[in-house]
Structure 1
Amino acid sequence: MSDSGSLVKISGLNFSYDERPVLRGIDMDIPLGKVIAIMGGSGCGKTTLLRLIGGQLKPTHGEVQVAGHAVDRMGHDELYALRRRMGMLFQFGALFTDMSVFDNVAYPLREHTSLSEELIRDITLMKLSAVGLRGAEALMPGALSGGMARRVALARAIALDPLLIMYDEPFTGLDPISLGVIGQLIRRLNDALGATSIMVTHDIHESLAIVDYIYFMSGGRVVAQGTPDEIRASKDPFVHQFVYAEADGPVPFHYPAPPFGKELLGKGAV
Structure 2
Amino acid sequence: MRGSNPAAGPLVITAEHGAPLVSLRDVRFAYGERSVLRGIDLSVHRGQVVAIMGGSGCGKTTLLRLIGGQLKASSGVVEVDGRDVGKMGRSDLYAMRRRMGMLFQFGALFTDISVFDNVAFPLREHTNLPPSMISDLVLMKLQAVGLRGAASLRPGELSGGMARRVALARAVALDPMLILYDEPFAGLDPISLGIVGQLIRRLNDALGASSVMVTHDVHESLEIVDYIYFVSEGRIVAQGTPDEIRASSDPFVHQFVNAEADGPVPFHYPAPPIDSLLQGVRP
Instruction: Specify the alignment match of 1:47 in structure 2.
Output: 61
Instruction: Specify the alignment match of 1:125 in structure 2.
Output: 139
Q: How far did 1:267 drift? A: 2.6
- Listed as ranges, the gaps of 5+ residues in structure 2 are 1-13
- Equivalenced residue count is 268
User: How does the TM-score come out when normalised to structure 1?
Assistant: 0.96
Q: How far did 1:268 drift? A: 3.6
Instruction: Specify the alignment match of 2:149 in structure 1.
Output: 135
Instruction: Specify the alignment match of 2:11 in structure 1.
Output: none
Q: What are the residue-to-residue correspondences of 1:94-113 with 2, within 5 Å?
A: 94-113=108-127
Name the SS of the counterpart of 1:127 in structure 2: helix
4+ aligned runs moved over 4 Å, structure 1: none
Q: How far did 1:232 drift? A: 1.2
Name the SS of the counterpart of 1:225 in structure 2: strand
Cα distance in 1 for residues equivalent to 2:281 and 2:165: 58
Does residue 228 in structure 1 map to residue 242 in structure 2?
yes
Instruction: Specify the alignment match of 1:267 in structure 2.
Output: 280
- What is the identity, as a one-letter code, of the residue corresponding to 1:267? G
User: How does the TM-score come out when normalised to structure 2?
Assistant: 0.92
Name the SS of the counterpart of 2:21 in structure 1: strand
- What is the identity, as a one-letter code, of the residue corresponding to 2:267? F
Does residue 71 in structure 1 map to residue 103 in structure 2?
no
Q: 1:93 aligns with which of 90, 99, 107?
A: 107
* CA deviation vs aligned residue, 1:7-66 (integer Å, no higher than 9, x gap): 001111000111111101001111110000000000000000000000000010001000
Of residues 114-123 and 2-11 in structure 1, the stretch that sits farther from structure 2 once superposed is 2-11
Instruction: Specify the alignment match of 2:96 in structure 1.
Output: 82
RMSD: 1.3
Q: 2:185 aligns with which of 163, 166, 171?
A: 171
Q: 1:16 aligns with which of 30, 41, 44?
A: 30
- What is the identity, as a one-letter code, of the residue corresponding to 2:166? V
- Listed as ranges, the gaps of 5+ residues in structure 1 are none
Instruction: Specify the alignment match of 1:59 in structure 2.
Output: 73
Identity %: 72
Instruction: Specify the alignment match of 2:169 in structure 1.
Output: 155
Name the SS of the counterpart of 1:5 in structure 2: coil
